[in-house]
Amino acid sequence: MIKAGIIGATGYAGGELVRILTGHKDVEIKWYGSRSYIDKRYAEVYQNMFQIVDDRCMDDNMEELSKQVDVIFTATPQGLCASLVNDEILSRTKIVDLSADFRIQDVETYEAWYKIRHSAPQYIPEAVYGLCEINREAVKKARLVANPGCYPTCTTLSIYPLLKEGLIDPDTIIVDAKSGTSGAGRGAKVDNLYCEVNENIKAYGVASHRHTPEIEEQLGYAAGRPVLINFTPHLVPMNRGILITAYASLKREASYEEVKAAYDKYYDSEKFVRVLEKGVCPQTKWVEGSNYVDVNFQIDPRTKRVIMMGAMDNLVKGAAGQAVQNMNLMFGLKESEGLELVPMFP
């Protein structure tokens, strides 16, 4: 039985980790860390866990936690994991960090976009970017995994095959993204109040969203050279879900069959990436509550561009589900263990 600890267990991503790991046959949660609710019963914070989780919340003492568990999940704001991790901790336990602390390889880029000083840049070179479908073999050998961001996961998986196969011009990529309000976290913010969000849609982080360099870095690996994109996220009045619509110019004329073959080449054997049938556009409601990403594309011969689309649940494949997927790989378990969640409807 794998013993797991969660720091940040009372945020939305942390709560989703608890939900998934509670149903994982190979994992026992030993530590529900939450600085805001120390010594409060977890089921008082999340009533859905009444008579399911009897434990009380603990602090974020990673040093002590590392002596008790095999894996630590840090579902915390940027900067916390980097401020706590050290050689001793990594010698005792594996870490899956759901923050951005180890996702970006260049320290200056991280500090410029996140506006904080990086506390542990020495661990960046060894941290594995945990996009399982692309970095699976490296994840298996890792002791520190940087769990990807929600927008970067959906964007990269939607675009990756066409960039990798050289079918699109990297200099022409535009990404339009939409997310439910849980992506902003559980903290109280005026912009997330019901009256502010309901019956409304708005762009935010225009030309400045901090997931931009992460997306560019990952697409750059696929393209084999640096990539700059326009990335514009929008907040929509729903709890969960991300929808990506990305645009790029084709390098040459390509048929539906040729583009479809590129997606199939990379995703045919992937459990959690579903390439939809011709003419079917991804929808957030068909992936809600699951670890699936639905992707598809449409060629526009008039403009010689291709529209790439992806939909996923930002709290599952975009956070907690992908973290568990990474953990499964790190411990040699079946990759889908605990994650074979059928999407919820309605």
- Residues annotated catalytic, as ranges: 150
By CB atoms closer than 10 A (0-12, 13-18, 19+), residue 59 is: middle
Beta-strand relationship, 174-179 and 144-146: unpaired
SS3 at position 245: strand
CB 104 within 8 A of CB 110: yes
Residue 252 carries which DSSP code? Answer: S
In angstroms, the Cα distances linking 304 to 159, 160, 166, 307 are 16, 19, 15, 10
Planar angle of CA 279, 202, 282, nearest 5 degrees = 15
Query: How many CA atoms does the CB half-sphere of 291 hold within 13 Å?
Result: 24
- Nearest Cα residue to 94 out of 117, 74, 122, 119: 74
